[in-house]
Amino acid sequence: MLCITTETAADSQDVEYLYDLAFGPGRQALSSYRLRDGVPAVAPLCLLARESAALAGAIRYWPVKVGEARALLLGPVAVHPTRQGEGVGGQLIAESLFRAESLGWARVLLVGDAPYYARFGFTPVVGITFPPPTNPARVLGRALQAGAFDGVGGTVKPDRG
């Protein structure tokens, strides 16, 4: 049975291995990683999916700003290749969004495939840009509170507190 838990410091090596396995060692060259440099992840939203001791999937979130508006940056989310197609990633996304809303976050951003993330309520956002070379068509957002994106626009930057 799949168990979703909060990531701890002891899990870091396993999670980094999973991300390298899923995305390759060059993953940290992606523009979204520049938004994570030197910024601690939002720990209560960094979740793991395990069956017994085996790591099946992981998701992390990071604080960012668009203008003065705070937001969450979802990602990366990864599922072990032997567990893909079983809904592990979907369970991690759904649970983490529920927790983010419970913690009072208003909005979530990500860079990803609109057809996949649409089932979780993500839609393309207009007027919000990520550092280059991000394809604007892949910038997606989900409001966790009504009107969360009203008047929000500009370039996404790290939220260093």
**Which H or E run includes 53?**
none
Q: Length of the chain, please?
A: 161
- Grouping H, G, I as helix, E, B as strand and the rest as coil, residue 43 is helix
The answer to whether 140 touches 114, Cβ cutoff 8 Å, is yes
- Grouping H, G, I as helix, E, B as strand and the rest as coil, residue 90 is helix
- The structure's pTM equals 0.94
What are the mean pLDDT values of the chain's consecutive 10-residue runs (161 residues total)?
95 93 73 83 98 95 97 96 96 98 98 96 96 92 98 96 78
How many domains are there within the chain? 1
The answer to whether 113 touches 138, Cβ cutoff 8 Å, is yes
Q: Pick from 52, 45, 57, 112: which is nearest to 83 by CA?
A: 57
pLDDT at site 22: 87
Per-residue pLDDT tens for 57-66? 999 999 999 9
In this structure, how many other beta carbons lie within 10 angstroms of the beta carbon of residue 54?
Answer: 11
pLDDT at site 37: 87
Q: What is the CATH number of the domain that holds 64?
A: 3.40.630.30
pLDDT at site 34: 79
Tokens standing for residue 154? 């500009």
Q: Which domain does 57 fall in, by range?
A: 2-158
pLDDT at site 29: 58
Burial state string for 60-91 with b = 16 or more CB within 10 A and e = fewer than 16: bbbbbbbeebebbbbbbbbbbeebeebebbeb
